[in-house]
Amino acid sequence: MFVVREIEDLARSLTRHSHDHGPVRDLNREADRRLGFHQRLAGDLARLIGSWTFVVLQALLSLFWLVLNVFAATQHWDPYPFLLLNLVLSLESAMWTVLVLMMLNQLGDRERLRAQQEYEVAVKTEEEMRAVMAHLEAQDEVLLQILQRLDRSDRAARRLGRRLGIPEDA
Residue 60: per-residue pLDDT? 94
In a domain, 42, yes or no: yes
**Cβ-based neighbour number of residue 10 at 10 Å:** 15
Q: Which domain holds residue 150?
A: 27-164
In a domain, 122, yes or no: yes
Mean local confidence (pLDDT), 16-26? 65
Please check whether residue 76 is in contact with residue 82, taking contact to mean a CB–CB distance below 8 angstroms. no
- Most confident residue range from 1-5, 14-18, 25-29, 41-45: 41-45
In a domain, 20, yes or no: no
> Rounded to an integer, what distance in angstroms lies between the CA atom of residue 153 and that of residue 139?
21
In a domain, 55, yes or no: yes
pLDDT at 98 over 80: yes
- Number of domains, the chain: 1
In a domain, 7, yes or no: no
Buried b vs exposed e over 89-108: b needs ≥16 C-beta within 10 Å? eeeeeeebeebbebbeebee
In a domain, 1, yes or no: no
Residue 12: per-residue pLDDT? 66
In a domain, 9, yes or no: no
Radius of gyration of the chain (CA): 39
HSE of 56 in the Cβ direction (CA atoms, 13 Å)? 3
